[in-house]
């Protein structure tokens, strides 16, 4: 494949676009790629284009860079589509935290399951519908690489609408990178296997030259009481397998922690953390915009993300293994067929091929099935136009169900429905309590 066309949807997420382009253009074989940038915000799109040209110059690359507010024009003839939209932006994120907080419901990141994950998905689905329609019309064979959260719900929704979609997240890579550092072994010497669902997969094997590195981890935890004040260390101690997402994330996918003041203090859980992260993302965008406008310094730093690796492997045939979020077609035996799971995937010139993992440990699968239930009900709510399924999803959500009464769940959903208004699918804009 010569000079592939790579389309960035939501390119106005400038900092993320910056990192992905730095990785892509570090590969000699991709330095003349056709890069098409799309966003609905003219200022952000202009900034993204300027950043792309600065990075290309710094890399000594000569890509063909274009930027357009017309999504279908950007997609025309695409080989690869990278989706990283956030529907509703910072204001919607604030609503996802502030409204549940009035009911006493605590969240940390709110982008995966739970109230924040469900309503983020419902805001995103209408845009995914339109994106999928454009892909079918002008680039039906393109490989869609999704970064937008909630990952599992979005990939589940897209899987019936486009031919080729893989969801990408860096959580497995960074978990293993950090675990290797914790036990004092170079990452390059570690072999591992992880599987489960996005943000709640499990490290099933953690070894160096056949030796189990979990033994070293156990020794570190026993020697350091501060390590035992991390949510995912606590989960590992109780469940026997280390979860692949941060403690902040992990705390809100289970029923045992956020409702208890003592557990929040013991495990140092940062309630409401993502509001601050979202505010910093806005500030970082403004710093990048201003640097571009004034000719200021713009570091060219890679991210190690999977999308550039996948594109390079498909274009060149160089084999790699990455972790992807894909439809469960017998990949994990004790999770429901048709749900979206996170497993290792082989990548080469033939594309992305998920690996069959078999059955997860029963206790890990049990937690994953609760997560999958929220995913399924949210997707069904949109596909069937049933607003009651939105409430059912949160009745099934571990943290929400452990904290709120049924009446509070339904009233909270009504408040969020009113807050997000026209961003939601039209059949789901109804309120269900008087």
Catalytically active residues, by annotation: 170
Q: Is 199 annotated as a binding residue?
A: yes
Contacts with 421 (C-beta within 8 Å, 6 or more apart), sequence order: 429
Q: Is 169 annotated as a binding residue?
A: yes
- Kind of pairing between the strands at 191-197 and 200-208: antiparallel
- In order, the DSSP letters of 255-272 are SSSTT-HHHHHHTT--TT
* Residues forming a β-bridge with 38: 9, 68
Alpha-carbon gap, residue 164 to 63, rounded angstroms: 25
Q: Is 139 annotated as a binding residue?
A: no
Alpha-carbon gap, residue 381 to 413, rounded angstroms: 13
Q: Compute and round to an integer the Cα radius of gyration of the chain.
A: 21
- In order, the DSSP letters of 181-247 are HHTT--GGG-EEEEEEETTEEEEEEEEETTEETHHHHHHHHHH-TTGGGSHHHHHHHHHSSEESS-H
Distances (CA, A) of 264 to 256, 267, 364, 410: 10, 5, 23, 26
Bind-site residues for Mn(2+): 169, 199
Bind-site residues: 149, 169, 199
Bind-site residues for substrate: 149
């Amino acid at each position: 494949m010569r000079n592939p066309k790579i389309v960035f949807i939501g390119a106005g997420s400038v900092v993320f676009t910056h990192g992905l382009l730095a990785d892509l253009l570090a590969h000699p074989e991709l330095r003349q790629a056709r890069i098409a940038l799309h966003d609905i915000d003219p200022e952000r799109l202009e900034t993204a284009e300027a950043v792309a040209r600065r990075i290309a110059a710094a890399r000594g690359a000569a890509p063909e860079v274009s930027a357009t507010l017309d999504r279908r024009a950007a997609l025309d003839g695409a080989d690869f589509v990278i989706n990283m939209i956030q529907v509703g932006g910072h204001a919607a994120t604030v609503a996802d935290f502030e409204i549940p907080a009035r009911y006493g419901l605590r969240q940390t990141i709110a982008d995966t399951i739970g109230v924040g994950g469900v309503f983020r998905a419902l805001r995103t689905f209408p845009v995914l519908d339109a994106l999928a329609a454009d892909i079918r019309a002008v680039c039906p064979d393109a490989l869609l690489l999704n970064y937008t959260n909630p990952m599992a719900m979005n990939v589940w929704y897209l899987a019936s609408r486009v031919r080729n979609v893989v969801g990408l997240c860096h959580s497995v890579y960074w978990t293993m990178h950090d675990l290797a550092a914790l036990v004092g072994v170079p990452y390059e010497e570690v072999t591992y296997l992880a599987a489960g669902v996005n943000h709640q997969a499990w490290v099933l094997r953690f070894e160096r030259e056949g030796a189990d590195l979990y033994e070293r981890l156990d020794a570190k935890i026993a020697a350091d009481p501060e390590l035992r004040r991390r949510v995912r260390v606590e989960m590992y101690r109780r469940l026997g397998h280390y979860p692949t997402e941060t403690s902040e994330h992990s705390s809100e996918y289970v029923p045992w922690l956020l409702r208890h003041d003592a557990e929040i203090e013991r495990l140092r859980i940062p309630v409401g953390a993502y509001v601050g992260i979202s505010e910093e993302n806005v500030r970082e965008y403004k710093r990048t915009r201003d640097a571009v406008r004034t000719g200021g310094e713009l570091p060219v730093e890679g991210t190690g993300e999977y999308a550039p690796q996948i594109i390079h492997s498909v274009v060149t045939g160089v084999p790699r293994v990455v972790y992807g979020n894909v439809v469960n077609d017998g990949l994990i035996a004790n999770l429901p067929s048709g749900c979206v799971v996170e497993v290792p995937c082989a990548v080469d010139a033939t594309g992305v091929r998920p690996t069959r993992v078999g059955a997860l440990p029963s206790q890990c699968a049990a937690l994953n099935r609760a997560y999958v239930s929220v995913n399924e009900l949210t997707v069904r709510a949109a596909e069937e136009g049933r607003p009651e399924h939105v409430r059912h999803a949160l009745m099934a959500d571990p943290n929400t169900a452990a904290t709120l009464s049924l009446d509070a769940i339904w009233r909270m959903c009504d408040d969020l429905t009113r807050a997000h208004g026209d961003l939601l699918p039209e059949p789901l804009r109804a309120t269900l309590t008087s």
